[in-house]
Structures are given as C-alpha cells and as structure tokens.
Structure 1
Amino acid sequence: MPAYPNDSSAEIAASLGTLEAGTAVSGVAKALLEIFTRGDIEPGTRLPPERQLASTLGVGRSAVREALAALEILGIVHVRPGSGTYLRGSASELLPQTLSWGLMLDEPKTRELIDVRGALEIYAARLAATRMSDEELASLGARVEEMRASVDTLERFVEADLQFHLELARSTDNSVLLDLLQSIRSLLRVWVDRAVQEPAEALAAIEEHAAVHAAIATRDPDAAASAMALHMNTAARRLAGALE
C-alpha cells in the first residue's frame, strides 16, 4: 500500500461551495469528483475531515460519509482508519469514474470492456518484453512477492495486483496505452476488487503473474504475450463470475 504524505485539506475545502438543497449524497460525490478530475490534487492527498466537508457543503455528515463510501467502492479514495480519507489515483485514472455508475449497471458493456482490457494487456506484455529495464523487471517481480505475502489479506493482494499491471504498462513507454489501461481498470475497479474471494483463486492468480514476469524476463515478446493471454483468459472468467 502506498504512503499518503500529502495534506491539502484547506485547498480542497476552499474549492468547494455550498450545495443546493436536496442534492445530498450525489451532490457531495459530484462536487468532490469535479475537484479530483481537474488534476490539481495529487494522488495521496488527504481530504478534509467529514465535519469540515459537511460544514463547507452545507449538508449533514451522513451525506458526506455515504458519498465517501461510494467513492471508496469505486476506487477513487482510500479510507485509512484513524488517519483519514485520501485521494487514490491520478487524473487519468479518475476521469472515467464520472461514467462508472451508469456503465457498471450495463453488463454487456462491462463484458466488452473486459475483452478490450485483455487485448491491451497482451499487447503491453509484448512491448514490455523488449522495453522493460532490468530495474523495472526486478520491481515487477517484487509485486509478485507482495501478492504471495498478501494471500490472506485481499485488499493488499488486489493493490499488489493493480501495481503489477500498472508498472508493466508504464514500462512500455507508451503513454496512450498506459492511459487506456488505467481508464479501463478504473471502470472495472469494483469487479476487479470482487473477482478474487478465495485463497485458491489468489494462489492461481499469483502463478499467472509469476509466469508473465518470467516470460518478460526472457525478453521474448511472443512468450510474454502468450503468458499474459493465459492470465487474461482466467482473469476474464473470474471477472465474469463477479458479474454474475
């Protein structure tokens, strides 16, 4: 889990204005999303406390609490008990979230997104085989070990999985591919978080990631693409199970 050193509560609070009566939870979520997706707030920034947000927006604390809970489910913020609520991703990750609620209710589109993600991940693995540095390869292997160490803590396991794919995409030196994968991952975030629920599923996913890492280490694009294709096939089945 990444560290969250930034604290721009005053900046965020100053960006908010009082909401119109009756907007409640959806209004709070929309107001926060508008600030987050502008790109001015860095990932890891701590949000103002619930009491301050409620006062600034002119709503009850329960509305703020429910809105933050919804944003956490979608992967936009991360709540650390006893510490506060933090912005989780970058602007490129968060922009698609304004569409997430409606999209995730549409099962056919979600399944189509899963297909597109698989194709892009396979292409990313092919590029990474020849473009990933030795340092990046070592870091990718460390993510696999983090997954092994987190089998009994699914939240940490999912985070290590996310970072594995993010680091792989970054190593392609293709910003368009990276943004596309981040966007799709954001839209699928709820289902990705639910896809692995049993230790046996986690262990299978670990071996798939280890195989991808090993294939990339051979610097063979075909081998890397093949290993990722196998992973995406079983990952798609797990996601489909979460949808059902």
Structure 2
Amino acid sequence: MEKTTLSAQVSNYLLNLIDKRQLIPGMEVPSEMQLIDTLGVSRGVIREAFCSLSTLGILEISSGKRPRVDRCKPTAMETIFRNAMATQQISAQQILDVRCALEMGCAEQAAQCGSAEDFFTLQQQMKMLRHTLGDHEQFILQDSLFHLQIAKASGNPLYSLMIEALRTPLASSISAGLDARDVSPDWESIIQLHQYIVDAICDRDPAAAKLAVARHFASATQALRDAACRSDTAP
C-alpha cells in the first residue's frame, strides 16, 4: 500500500469486505488487530479509516466494541448540502425545487403503497402539526416528522434519507418564511395545505397527492420570497 493513501485504501478494503460478505446493519467488521495482521498497517491508520467510515454513516463505532455496519443515515449528505448553502453554491430555492420533485413522487407512492397503520400515523401527525399553530420551533419539528412519515408510508427508504438531508440546511430559511407569514390567516392556510396532502394520500389518490404537494411547495416558495423582500427592505 502507498503511504499517502493508506487510510483511504483501508476504507475501500472495508467497503469491499462489507459488500463481499453481504454484511447488514448490526454485523461486525474485523477488529483493529485483525486488520493490522491482514493489511500490515498501523493502528493509527486503521482508526483513521474507521473514523472516516463512521463520519459517512457506514460504520458504528463504540468504545471497547468492534465496529459494526451502521444503518443508513443522512448525516454526510446533510453536511454536504449545508456547506453548499453556506458557501453560496446552492440556494434555498434550489433545495426547495429538488424537495418538491422528490416529495411529489413520495406522496404518490405513499398513496399507492401506504398501509392503514401508515395512514393512521400520518393523521395523528397532522393533529400534532395543527397544535403547533403560532409556535415556529415546534411547527418546524412537527413538520419534519410529518414529511418523514409520508416518506415512511412510501415504503422507499431513499425518500427518508434524501428528504431529511435536504431539509436540515433549510431550517433557518423555513423559520424566516414563517416569520414573513406570521398572521393567523396565513397559518391556517399552511395547515390546510398539509391537510390536503393527508386527505389525498389516505384516499389513495396519487394524482391528488402530487398536486397537493406541488401546491404546498408553491406556498413555501412564496414564503421564502416574502422573507427575502422583508430582509431587503429592513432598515
């Protein structure tokens, strides 16, 4: 192995090993000592590779235990999207556009594939969302859970990963959008847009579900514009 790429090569070795052995979340990978014996590299190189794969959400690292294959998490993608926004490589509007396209497909699939239990949970989440009227912090939390429940109902875990990863960098923009619409009629309109999504999904109407999501994101886009205008005109 080349010294300049030891850690990367160990990471690739572990990724190939996971694939070859068809390891699933919770299963152990070789220990530090086993990798040292097999690959002939130092403990520091092994730990660097473990740390790198842990950051990517591929391995779960616990003190005193052998690393295990981790469940898929949006952490790495969240970091990429957040940094891209912070460095002005992408905008909040561009993230909203991608989320809209994703969530239209997600809602369509949820309407087709969701179970009665999924629909019940979604309806309960809608009630929770309604109770947050006027409380921005709680609304953002419950709204996130609302959209993730739709993703769960779709039966496709990629929707959950992508929606969560794309949502996190938007937190401040969502808050600003809510500030721009902080009047009772607007809040009622926001809640009603969510209710349309729930009704369409629970009625197993994929076309209506897609349309309801499109209207929801059109409203969110307008809220972002209102927030931008308010910021531009602020003294």
Q: Which has the larger radius of gyration?
A: 2
- SS of residue paired to 2:154: coil
Distance in 1 of aligned mates of 2:129 and 2:79: 26
CA deviation map 1:126-175 (0-9, x unaligned): 11101111111111111211122111322111111110001101211112
Moved more, 109-118 or 205-214: 109-118
User: Match for residue 56 of structure 1?
Assistant: none
> Structure 1 or 2: larger helix share?
2
**For structure 1, which runs of at least 5 residues remain unmatched after alignment?**
1-33, 43-89
User: Match for residue 133 of structure 1?
Assistant: 115
Matched-pair contact (CA < 8 Å) for 1:133–1:171: yes
Percent identical: 25
User: Match for residue 184 of structure 1?
Assistant: 166
User: Match for residue 96 of structure 1?
Assistant: 78
Q: Does 1:226 align with 2:211?
A: yes
Structure 1's 190 and 129: CA in aligned 2 closer, same or farther, altered over 3 A? Answer: same
Q: With the length of structure 1 as denominator, give the TM-score of the two structures.
A: 0.59
Q: Give runs of aligned pairs for residues 166-181 of structure 1, distance below 5 A.
A: 166-181=148-163
User: Match for residue 162 of structure 1?
Assistant: 144
Q: With the length of structure 2 as denominator, give the TM-score of the two structures.
A: 0.61
Structure 1's 243 and 132: CA in aligned 2 closer, same or farther, altered over 3 A? Answer: farther
CA RMSD of aligned residues (A): 2.7
User: Match for residue 4 of structure 1?
Assistant: none
Structure 1's 168 and 189: CA in aligned 2 closer, same or farther, altered over 3 A? Answer: same
Q: 1:216 aligns with which of 201, 210, 220?
A: 201
Size of the aligned set, in residue pairs, is: 165
Q: 1:122 aligns with which of 101, 104, 125?
A: 104
- SS of residue paired to 1:91: coil
**For structure 2, which runs of at least 5 residues remain unmatched after alignment?**
1-51, 63-71, 230-235
Distance in 1 of aligned mates of 2:53 and 2:135: 32
